Amino acid sequence: MSKPFATVLDSRTSLKNETGSWRTNRPCYVHRLPPCNVTCPAGENIQQWLSFAQEGKFLSAWQEMVTNNPFPATMGRVCYHTCEKACNRDQYDGAVNINLLERSIGDMAIAQDWQFEPVQSSHNKKVLIIGAGPSGLSAAYFLRKFGYDVTVYESHKLPGGMMRYGVPAYRLPRRVLDAEIKRIENLGVKIICEKKVNKLKDEIDKFDAVYLAIGANVASPTNIDIEGDSNVIDAIDFFKKLEDKQMDDIHLGNKVLVYGGGNTAIDAARSALRLGAKSVKIAYRKTINEMPAHETEIQEALSEGVEILCLRVITSIIHNRVVFDKMKYDSEQRILSKTGESESFIADSVIFAIGQSVESEILAEMDEIKVSDKGLVEVDANMMTSKKGVFAGGDLIPGKRTVTNAIGYGKKAAKCIDAYLQNKEVVKNPKNEVANFKKLNLEYYASDKRKEVSRLGDLTFDEKDVSYTSAEAIKEASRCMSCGNCFHCDNCYSYCPDNAIIKHEDGTLEFNYDYCKGCGICATECPCGAIVMKPDDK
């Protein structure tokens, strides 16, 4: 990591920051925003908990995680880890395996029964949350932490929403989900299941605020001609029956066709294989590159034997014969058109996975709440509907429909509800400059490629255990480059020719500008881009 000092100094003589004995620029420590943090829909401070994990302080890492997300073990399984795509290390030797680290630390928390800190304050105000999915439970968690009396109504037999009724057990074991929900209940949140709200007006009067977190758990309608005794089921009903162990109601047969291109379609196809189907095909109207499903999920489905038929649109289903129109697609102009050709396929069953919509009966009598033409609730910047005191989020408002986004919505809603009930402004997070790849000094990072881990196992609903050991977690977390934030490597302290840097006992550093000449060596040699040169203001 070190270089001869004379070489360092000689190589910087032509830098624009080199001002000799008359300083015009001064170095400053900065806190740039890591790109992983920027892209996390749940708003996790990923870099911070990675720094704890590097030191083997896994409890501290977990406590940092749950500052922003009460479901780390769940998220470590179902999140599509946009943070890893943004990770600067991905441009060097492979992104840090943030997703698997989160899962591993989340699993440690369950194994060791780590619990949330007890609530210390109380506001003596009550909040109702309708829907115990990721958004509703996230909001409940944060509101309870803020000191509110929180009640959650859930229409299903068990809480979890689409985490339970939309994600198969081989991806998210129910023991994991149950443990993380139980932890929220232990905090003091009351969850009442099999409680369907028919008259929202009556409930509003009983609470100081209401958060609508109704998931998209209704299959979107189709206009496909279906004749005869065709065995057709929508994916949402399929997963519900699977979860409720209603196996006698599931008759897939040997040849299964799944229609759709999202993650739900992939999950349905892989579940059909696990139920014993001999041939499973997915039909999608565009190309495989246009499929909205996550790339990892697509590749795992293909590895398990699922066949994907692209550029196919079902026109009719007659008994067990599925008729397709072959399509052509111009990705640049985003135009889908028919080729004039058709084909047919024999299927014992067809699973529709072409989208979900929100069950909006609860809003029918609420004229004060504005609903768009697409059936989504209109909210203001603080997530409040047009009915004062009633908020909405998750799948009920426009936005991406993922577990991670839903958790982020829940956290934001909790902050907005707290501000409303306390008659204060919502405090927005500061927007710091993002630490991009060009701001790093790669000379100080040894190549250390991540170890890829496959989640593929036997074709059962049992999850394959891929979590890191403690030693593996420390090693992988140590690959974090600490983009934009000082990690106390002491390069600036070592290379400063003027002894102008003061090192404190706690490891923090500061500049002594009485000695600094503004040469800029500290900024150039900083591995993580945590020092910038600014015009001197003296």
- Phi, psi of 513, deg, nearest 5: -75, -10
The percent of residues above 70 in pLDDT, for the chain, comes to 95
Contacts 24+ apart (CB under 8 A), 251-256: 251/349, 252/276, 252/277, 252/348, 252/349, 253/277, 253/347, 253/348, 253/349, 254/278, 254/279, 254/348, 255/279, 255/346, 255/347, 255/348, 255/349, 256/280, 256/281, 256/347, 256/348, 256/349, 256/350, 256/351
Distance CA 289, CA 301 (A): 15
Among residues 434, 430, 429, 388, which one has the least CA distance to residue 412? 429
What's the whole-number average pLDDT of the chain? 90
**How far is the C-alpha of 49 from the C-alpha of 63, rounded, in Å?**
8
Confidence of residue 328 (pLDDT cuts 50, 70, 90): very high
| pLDDT given for residue 430 in this prediction | 77
CATH topology match: 35-115+432-477 vs 126-218+357-421: no
Bridge partners for 225 per DSSP: 316
Query: Which CATH number is associated with domain 219-354?
Result: 3.50.50.60
Q: State the pLDDT confidence band at 538, using cuts at 50, 70 and 90.
A: low
For residue 301, which of 249, 266, 344 has the smallest C-alpha distance? 266
55-69, 238-252, 484-498, range with greatest mean pLDDT: 55-69
**Residue 16 has what pLDDT?**
46
- Please state which CATH class domain 5-31+486-535 belongs to: alpha beta
User: Do residues 236 and 218 touch, judged by C-beta distance below 8 A?
Assistant: yes
Task: List pLDDT tens digits, range 348-363.
Answer: 999 999 877 777 677 7
pTM: 0.90
Residue-level pLDDT at 398: 82
Residues 165-208: pLDDT tens digits? Answer: 999 999 999 999 999 999 999 999 999 999 988 888 888 889 99
For the beta carbon of residue 229, count every other beta carbon within 10 angstroms: 7
297, pLDDT greater than 60: yes
> Could you state, in order of their start, the residue ranges of all structural domains in the chain?
5-31+486-535, 35-115+432-477, 126-218+357-421, 219-354
Residue type, 146: F
CATH architecture of 35-115+432-477: Orthogonal Bundle (1.10)
Topology of domain 126-218+357-421 in CATH is FAD/NAD(P)-binding domain (3.50.50)
Alpha-carbon distance of 498 to 267, in angstroms, equals: 61
- Residue 2: pLDDT band with limits 50, 70, 90: very low
Pick from 319-323, 450-454, 493-497: least confident: 450-454
pLDDT digits (tens, 9 = 90+) for 47-65: 999 999 999 999 999 999 9
Question: Which region holds residue 291: left if phi is over 0, alpha if psi is between -120 and 50, else beta?
Answer: beta
Secondary structure class of 192 (helix, strand, coil): strand
Contact 146, 411 (CB under 8 A): no
| Residue 6 pLDDT grade (very low, low, confident, very high; cuts 50, 70, 90) | very low
Q: How far apart are CA 377 and CA 248, in angstroms?
A: 37
Cβ atoms of residues 495 and 8 within 8 Å: yes
HSE toward the beta carbon, residue 307, CA cutoff 13 A:
10
Is residue 15 within 8 A of residue 416, CB to CB? The reply is: no
Q: In 3D, which of 47, 52, 53 has the Cα closest to residue 474? A: 53
Query: Residues, the chain, total?
Result: 538
Residue 276 neighbours by CB distance under 10 Å = 11
